[in-house]
Amino acid sequence: MTDNTWPGGRRKALYQPEHGKWNALNYPGTRQLCSLCDEPTGRCEDDTMRSSEGEPICEDCFVEEESVAK
């Protein structure tokens, strides 16, 4: 699973402008990246979509993986 970097090394709530600044300076920052295509998932840990291996994936890869499974 991809480990994200958090300000000061500890996870905490950030305002949106703080998130944007942190992410711009510390790629991938607090972004969750897709384990298949390496693009940001646009999600957080609470609403993660996971691959069949249990890794976080984006919506496009999730749909693709679901169609292959059928």
| Residuewise pLDDT in 10s, the chain (70 residues) | 345 667 777 777 888 898 788 778 877 777 789 999 999 998 888 889 999 899 999 999 999 988 887 7
Residue 37, phi then psi, degrees to nearest 5: -115, -5
Contacts of 14 (CB under 8 A, 6+ apart): 7, 22, 30
**Residue 5 pLDDT:** 65
pTM of the full structure: 0.63
Can you give the residue ranges of every domain in the chain?
7-69
